[in-house]
C-alpha cells in the first residue's frame, strides 16, 4: 500500500495562513469593542404627549446591545437593533403621569456598557401657539440668509469651510439669521403681513451652496449660520407677541447629499438607492402621478428619484422612515410652538404617506395649517393634491391647501406678457376642482422664479398691478420678501439677493422710509395700502367671488360676504379708457350706488348701464349699495 500524498507546504502558504488569522482576530477584536452612542434622535420629548416615541440611537458596536431603562412612568415597548452595529431603534411608552426629567437608556453588550439620555420635558401652554392660518392672513416669505444679519458672530461657525460665508458669492452664505428677522418684526407688522414663511432652518453642512436650507444634514438641529434653537424659540415668541404667525418649511421628500444617511442608512431601504446607484430625477416630471391611466413606471422617477440627481430620496413607504418623519414634525411643532408648515416638493412623496402624516398633525393641533408646493400651471394637476377629497387612488392627502401656481402663471401672463384678462377667469373657472379653493395660497413671486418686476421688464406699474390683483382676488395672499420694494432679480440664484439695509456695510436701508428710493417707497406704500384695505374689508378676505364682465383688457368681479358687497375693476391697459357695461343679469344688476373704496374714479349708473373710467394699469374697488 502506497503512502498517502499531502500537498507540499510552502513558506508562502504559511505566511498567507498567518495573515488571514491575524486579520480575523483583529476583526473579532474590533467587533468586540464596547458600545458607543454618538447621537440620540430626538434628544428630548414631552410628558403627556404622543406615545410611544421612537428613539433612534447612532453609534458603534451596537449589534449585540441589550437596552434597558429605570425611570418611573417610562418603559420600553420594543427595540430593534440593526445588524450594522451603528443604529438601534427603541420605542418608549411614556405614561401620562410621568414626570419631567432625564431618562437614561442603559446600553449593554458582552464587551461593555454605555448610556444614552433622553430629556423628558413638560409641554408648554398652548396659548398663542399652534394658531394655524386663515383667510384673514397675509403670508410673507423670508429666506433667512438673505433678509438681515442680526448677529455677525455666526457668519463663520466653527468647522465651516473657508468661502462658506461670502456676500460676493451668489451661492454662499451671506449672513442673514434668525436674530435679523426678529430685529425687523416691526417693519413686517408695519407693512401689514400677519404670517412669516421661513425657508428651512434645519442644519445644513458647513460648505457653500447650502444657504437655502434644502440640503439637510440634521433634521433635529438649527442651522448654525442662522443661530441657535433658543434663538428660534425667541423669534417665534416675539412674532406671536406682535400678532405674527410662523410657518416652517418642511422637506420630508429628501435630505442633503452630506447627510450621514447618504453613506450609512439606519435600515436597508431607508433611502431609494444609494449615492452610487439611484434613480436620477432632473426632469421633475410629477404630473403622471395624477394620471389614472399611468402605470407605476411612469411616475417612479418622481417618487423614487434623487431630486436634481444629488438629494438623497427618503423612502416614506418604509414604516420606520414614516414614523421618523412624523415624529420630527411633532417635535418642531412642540419645540417652536409654530402655526403650521409649508411643505416642499409635495408631489414627489407617496400620497398615502401624506394621509398619515397630516392627519396625525391635525389630530394633535386642531388649527394646524399646511400649504404644499405643487409647482404646475394646470389646475387639474395642482388640485389633485388638495386635501378634503379622494383621488382615483382612493387617497385623501389631508393637505390644507396647495399654492395656487396656476393663478401665479396667469397673473404673470396677463400683467407682464400681454395675455387677455380672460386667462385669469380661465383659472378661476376651475376652482370647482378644489374642495376649498378659497384657501388657495395665491402669490406673484417666490424664491424659485424670476422676480416679478424683472419679469415685467422693470415696470413698477405692472408690479403694483400684480399686487393689486393679489390683494383682491380669492385666496390667501403670499408676498416674497423684497417684492414690496421692487427688488429685481433673474433666475435662481439672482432672485435671492440680500434685502438692502439688513447687512453690515449696506449703502441703503430699505427697512426705513428714509432709506428707500422714491420708486421703492412708491411700491412699498402701494402694498401697505392694499394690505390695510384688505384688513378693513372682510369681503376682500372671505367674500365669495363672482364674475360681472371679462374682456381682453379688463375684468370686473364682486367679492361678497355678510354685510358687505364690493365690486373690483381690474384693468391692464396702458392708457385711460371709458367703457359702458350692461349690468343686466349680473349679480349687481339692482345696484343703486357704487361708491369708491380706494383711490378710484367715480362710477355713473343709469338703470342697468354702468359707465366706468379706467385708469391705466389699475385695480379700483367700489362698495355696492
User: CA-to-CA distance for 451 and 523, rounded, in angstroms?
Assistant: 14
pLDDT along the chain (625 residues), means of 10: 38 45 45 89 98 98 96 98 97 97 98 98 96 98 98 94 94 97 98 98 87 97 98 98 98 97 97 97 95 95 96 98 98 98 98 98 98 98 98 98 98 98 98 98 98 98 98 98 98 98 97 98 98 98 98 98 97 97 96 96 95 97 97
Q: What is the pLDDT of residue 474?
A: 98
pLDDT at 32: 58
Could you please state the CATH topology (level 3) that the domain comprising 36-121 is classified under.
Immunoglobulin-like (2.60.40)
Is the link from the previous residue into 493 a cis peptide, with omega within 30 of 0?
Answer: yes
Q: Are 588 and 567 in contact (CB under 8 A)?
A: yes
The CATH number of 543-624, from 3.40.50.620, 2.60.40.1180, 3.40.50.2300, 2.60.120.10, is 2.60.40.1180
The H helix count followed by the E strand count for the chain is 14, 28
Look at residue 18 in the predicted model and tell me its pLDDT.
Answer: 47
What phi-psi label fits residue 213: left (phi over 0), alpha (psi between -120 and 50 degrees) or beta? left
Q: Are 208 and 169 in contact (CB under 8 A)?
A: yes
Burial 488-512 (b: 16+ CB within 10 A, else e): bbeeebebbbbbbbbbeebeeebbe
Residue at grid coordinates 442608512: 265
Global pTM value: 0.94
Q: Would you state the pLDDT for residue 291?
A: 97
Which three cell numbers, joined as nine digits, stand for 479? 408676498
> How far is it, in rounded angstroms, from Cα 223 to Cα 215?
11
Give the integer Cα–Cα distance in Å for 86 and 93: 23
What gap in Å lies between CA 432 and CA 604, rounded to an integer? 34
Residue located via cell numbers 416669505: 141
Distance between first and last Cα of the chain:
125
With b for 16 or more beta-carbon neighbours within 10 A and e for fewer, the 570-587 pattern comes to bbbeeeeeebebebeebb
Nearest residue to 545 via CA among 412, 465, 438, 620: 438
pLDDT at 562: 96
- Around Cβ 341, how many Cβ atoms within 10 Å? 25
pLDDT of residue 20: 46
pLDDT of residue 206: 79
Cα 625 from Cα 613, distance rounded (Å):
19
Fold agreement between 36-121 and 543-624: yes
| Catalytic positions | 344, 373
Domain coordinates in residue numbering, the chain = 36-121, 543-624
pLDDT at 7: 39
Amino acid at each position: 500500500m502506497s503512502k498517502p500524498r499531502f500537498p507540499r507546504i510552502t513558506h508562502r502558504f504559511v505566511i498567507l495562513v498567518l495573515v488571514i488569522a491575524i486579520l480575523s482576530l483583529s476583526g473579532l477584536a474590533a467587533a468586540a469593542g464596547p458600545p458607543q452612542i454618538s447621537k440620540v434622535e430626538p434628544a428630548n420629548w414631552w410628558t403627556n404627549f404622543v406615545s410611544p416615541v421612537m428613539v433612534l440611537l447612532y453609534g458603534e458596536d451596537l449589534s449585540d446591545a441589550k437596552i434597558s431603562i429605570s425611570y418611573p412612568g417610562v418603559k420600553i415597548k420594543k427595540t430593534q437593533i440593526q445588524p450594522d452595529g451603528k443604529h438601534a431603534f427603541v420605542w418608549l411608552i411614556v405614561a401620562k403621569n410621568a414626570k419631567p426629567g432625564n431618562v437614561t437608556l442603559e446600553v449593554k453588550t458582552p464587551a461593555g456598557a454605555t448610556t444614552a439620555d433622553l430629556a423628558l420635558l413638560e409641554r408648554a401652554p398652548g396659548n398663542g401657539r399652534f394658531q394655524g392660518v386663515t383667510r384673514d392672513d397675509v403670508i410673507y416669505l423670508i429666506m433667512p440668509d438673505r433678509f438681515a444679519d442680526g448677529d455677525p458672530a455666526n457668519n463663520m461657525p466653527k468647522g465651516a469651510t473657508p468661502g462658506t460665508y461670502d456676500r460676493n458669492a451668489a451661492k454662499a452664505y451671506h449672513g442673514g439669521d434668525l436674530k435679523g428677522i426678529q430685529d425687523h418684526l416691526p417693519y413686517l407688522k408695519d407693512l401689514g403681513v400677519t404670517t412669516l414663511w421661513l425657508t428651512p432652518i434645519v442644519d445644513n453642512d458647513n460648505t457653500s451652496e447650502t444657504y437655502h436650507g434644502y440640503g439637510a444634514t440634521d433634521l433635529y438641529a438649527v442651522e448654525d449660520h442662522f443661530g441657535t434653537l433658543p434663538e428660534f424659540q425667541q423669534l417665534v415668541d416675539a412674532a406671536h407677541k406682535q400678532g405674527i404667525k410662523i410657518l416652517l418649511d418642511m422637506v420630508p421628500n429628501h435630505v442633503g447629499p452630506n447627510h450621514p444617511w447618504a453613506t450609512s442608512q439606519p435600515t436597508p431601504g431607508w433611502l431609494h438607492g444609494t449615492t452610487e446607484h439611484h434613480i436620477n430625477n432632473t426632469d421633475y416630471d410629477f404630473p403622471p402621478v395624477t394620471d389614472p391611466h399611468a402605470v407605476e413606471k411612469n411616475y417612479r422617477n418622481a417618487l423614487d428619484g434623487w431630486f436634481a440627481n444629488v438629494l438623497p430620496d427618503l423612502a416614506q413607504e418604509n414604516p420606520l422612515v414614516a414614523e421618523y418623519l412624523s415624529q420630527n414634525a411633532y417635535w418642531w411643532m412642540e419645540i417652536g410652538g409654530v402655526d403650521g408648515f409649508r411643505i416642499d416638493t409635495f408631489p414627489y412623496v407617496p400620497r398615502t404617506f401624506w394621509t398619515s402624516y397630516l392627519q396625525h398633525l391635525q389630530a394633535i393641533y386642531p388649527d394646524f395649517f399646511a400649504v404644499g408646493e405643487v409647482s404646475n400651471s394646470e389646475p387639474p394637476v395642482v388640485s389633485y393634491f388638495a386635501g378634503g377629497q379622494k383621488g382615483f387612488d382612493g387617497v385623501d392627502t389631508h393637505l390644507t391647501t396647495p399654492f395656487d401656481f396656476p393663478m401665479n402663471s396667469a397673473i404673470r401672463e396677463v400683467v407682464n406678457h400681454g395675455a387677455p384678462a380672460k386667462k385669469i377667469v380661465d383659472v378661476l373657472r376651475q376652482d370647482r376642482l378644489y374642495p376649498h379653493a378659497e384657501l388657495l395660497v395665491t402669490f406673484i413671486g417666490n424664491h424659485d422664479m424670476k422676480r416679478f418686476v424683472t419679469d415685467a421688464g422693470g415696470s413698477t406699474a405692472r408690479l403694483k398691478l400684480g399686487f393689486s390683483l393679489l390683494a383682491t382676488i380669492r385666496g390667501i395672499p403670499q408676498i416674497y420678501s423684497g417684492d414690496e420694494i421692487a427688488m429685481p432679480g433673474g433666475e435662481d440664484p439672482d432672485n435671492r439677493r440680500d434685502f438692502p439695509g439688513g447687512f453690515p456695510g449696506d449703502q441703503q436701508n430699505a427697512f426705513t422710509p428714509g432709506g428707500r428710493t422714491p420708486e421703492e417707497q412708491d411700491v412699498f406704500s402701494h402694498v401697505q395700502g392694499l394690505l390695510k384695505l384688505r384688513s378693513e374689508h372682510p369681503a376682500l378676505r372671505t367674500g365669495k367671488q363672482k364674475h360681472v364682465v371679462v374682456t381682453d383688457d379688463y375684468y370686473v368681479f364682486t367679492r361678497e360676504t355678510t354685510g358687505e358687497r364690493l365690486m373690483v375693476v381690474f384693468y391692464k391697459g396702458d392708457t385711460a379708457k371709458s367703457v359702458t357695461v350692461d349690468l343686466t343679469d349680473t349679480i349687481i344688476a339692482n345696484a343703486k350706488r357704487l361708491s369708491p373704496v380706494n383711490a378710484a374714479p367715480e362710477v355713473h349708473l343709469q338703470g342697468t348701464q354702468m359707465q366706468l373710467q379706467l385708469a391705466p394699469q389699475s385695480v379700483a374697488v367700489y362698495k355696492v349699495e
